[in-house]
């Protein structure tokens, strides 16, 4: 049994892309990649992208702010990782700097300390270089600044010496 597929027209694609953008904040790069899957010519893709931007379905500043809040509040990413991920998505430096203001410094430091202490307790390796390396590597992968990490390492290392 052979199924006949009717080609999808530009209005249907536009409607699908509206839903795609309304469902979750998207950046230009993600929408462009999704449009690629519809195998249309470049002028039609450009027309749809222009429509989405003009009707505020795509807003890079709003995307960056949402991304920063979500990745820090739920995944506890540090600023370095967030900035790198936004750069990967071709977000402008201005939008990145604006978005980073979404994280109050006190909340950032508080989350860092909670995450660091939880990780320190979860590392089963005995105190020493191996445990320290695991601790530092974990926080570097999360995207925290090295000065914060080493200050916390010294603090935790000294606490365990005193016990």
DSSP 55-76: TTS--HHHHHHHHHHHHHHHH-
Q: Are 83 and 114 members of one domain? A: no
Question: Which pTM was predicted?
Answer: 0.85
The answer to the question of residue 3 being in a domain is no
Q: Are 67 and 49 members of one domain? A: no
Q: What percent of the chain has pLDDT over 90?
A: 75
Predicted confidence (pLDDT) at residue 4 exceeds the cutoff of 60: no
pLDDT of residue 41: 83
pLDDT of residue 158: 75
Indicate the angle between helix axes 10-23 and 42-54, nearest 10 degrees: 40
pLDDT band, residue 3 (cuts 50/70/90): low
The answer to the question of residue 94 being in a domain is yes
Residue range of the domain that includes 74: 60-100
Nearest CA among 111, 160, 118, 110 for reference residue 135: 118
Count how many domains the chain has. 3
């Amino acid at each position: 049994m052979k199924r006949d597929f009717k080609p999808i027209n530009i209005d249907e694609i536009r409607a699908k892309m509206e839903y795609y953008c309304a469902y979750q904040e998207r950046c230009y790069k993600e929408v462009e990649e999704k449009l690629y899957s519809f195998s249309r010519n470049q002028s039609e893709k450009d027309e749809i992208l222009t429509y989405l931007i003009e009707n505020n379905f795509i807003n890079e500043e709003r995307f960056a702010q949402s991304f920063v809040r979500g990745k820090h509040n739920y995944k506890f990413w540090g600023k370095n990782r967030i900035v790198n991920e936004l750069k990967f998505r071709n977000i402008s430096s201005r939008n990145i700097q604006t978005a980073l203001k979404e994280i109050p410094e006190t909340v950032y430091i508080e989350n860092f300390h909670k995450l660091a202490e939880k990780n320190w307790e979860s590392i089963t390796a005995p105190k020493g270089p191996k445990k320290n390396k695991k601790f530092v590597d974990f926080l570097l992968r999360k995207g925290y600044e090295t000065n914060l990490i080493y200050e916390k390492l010294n603090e935790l290392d000294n606490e365990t010496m005193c016990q």
